[in-house]
Amino acid sequence: MWGSERVSVVFPAYNEAAGVALAIHDFFATGYVDEIIVVDNNSRDGTADLARAAGARVVAEPRQGFGYALQRGLAEASGDLVILAEPDGTFVGADVIKLLAYAADFDLVLGTRTTRELIWHEANMGWFLRVGNVLVAKLIQWLFDGPSLSDCGCTLRLVRRTALERLRPRLTVGGAHFLPEMVILALLQHLRVIEIPVNYRGRLGTSKITGSFRRTLIVGTNMVLLTLRYRLQAWLDPSLRARGRRRPGPVAPATDR
């Protein structure tokens, strides 16, 4: 619990036996997490059994894909605050507290893996990934009038239930380029979005997305095409955008809300 709000964590998992139990213990160890949902995406290495034994609720998602797994997790989560992460050892459980600290003021709190002091030595964050993440994030920032964005590919993020109810019916991407769609939809809905620095470590087990240059290039291209398509659609079809102006800032001191 965070104050009076229940906290859920969603882990998409495709053959993550190497790290899933450790990740579950690490996130529960914060003391703020009420439930962890592991979305087992057709794993064949015993991920589901390990996750169950470590105290997570396991749901099976048969449609293969990072986006399908996350969409399923968002549908299953019951918390007032829902955190997306990965059970591969790359994210640090304690960073949950940073996300929660911003939850009172924002609907969507995004992690950014761009702070040098927080990128661990063995992390998979080469120049191509770093530059690509920044460029796509900036494209989204400029085209959708966002806050400062620097990392389009960070799974670690928090979404408020009220925002989630607006976003979930609009999510379409089942593949690896799921993450930017959530941000674009949030900006089109005039939700309050912020990015905060998080740790990024080396992964346990085998990489499925950004481990190869070719796959990273394909995912990046899909992200750019998705961004441009949404920009065009939002111009042609105003119903994609929430009415009125962007949400104004707080009117009373935080302690009075």
Ligand X SMILES: Nc1nc2c(ncn2[C@@H]2O[C@H](COP(=O)(O)OP(=O)(O)OP(=O)(O)O)[C@@H](O)[C@H]2O)c(=O)[nH]1
Residues of the shown chain interacting with Mg ion in the complex, contacts defined by CB under 5 A: 86, 88, 90
CB of 188 to ligand X, least distance (A): 25
Q: Which of 210, 220, 226, 227 binds ligand X (CB under 6 A)?
A: 210
Binding window for ligand X (CB under 6 A); candidates: 51-59, 63-71, 132-140, 221-229: 63-71
What residues contact residue 105 under an 8 Å CB cut-off, 6+ apart? 192, 194, 250, 254
Task: Name which of residues 142 to 201 contact ligand X (CB under 6 A).
Answer: 176
- Contacted entry of Mg ion, ligand X, none for residue 171, CB cut-off 5 to 8 Å set by kind: none
C-alpha–C-alpha distance, residues 67 and 61, integer Å: 11
AA letter at 72: R
Q: Which residue is closest to ligand X by CB?
A: 207
CB of 91 to ligand X, least distance (A): 9
CB of 48 to Mg ion, least distance (A): 18
Q: Which of 41, 114, 133, 150 binds ligand X (CB under 6 A)?
A: 41
Q: How many residues does the chain have?
A: 257
Binding residues for ligand X, total number by CB under 6 A: 21
Q: Which of 66, 91, 106, 144 binds ligand X (CB under 6 A)?
A: 66
Torsion angle in degrees (nearest 10) through CA of 208, 25, 102, 179 = 10
Of 207, 212, 205, nearest in space to 45 by CA:
205
Q: Which is nearer to ligand X, 170 or 215 (CB)?
A: 215
Q: Which of 73, 79, 87, 93 binds ligand X (CB under 6 A)?
A: 87
Q: Which is nearer to ligand X, 114 or 210 (CB)?
A: 210
- Contacted entry of Mg ion, ligand X, none for residue 41, CB cut-off 5 to 8 Å set by kind: ligand X
Q: Which of 30, 49, 59, 65 binds ligand X (CB under 6 A)?
A: 65
Q: Which of 203, 220, 227, 230 binds ligand X (CB under 6 A)?
A: 203
Binding-site ranges for ligand X (CB under 6 A): 12-14, 16, 41, 64-66, 69, 86-88, 90, 124, 176, 203, 207-211
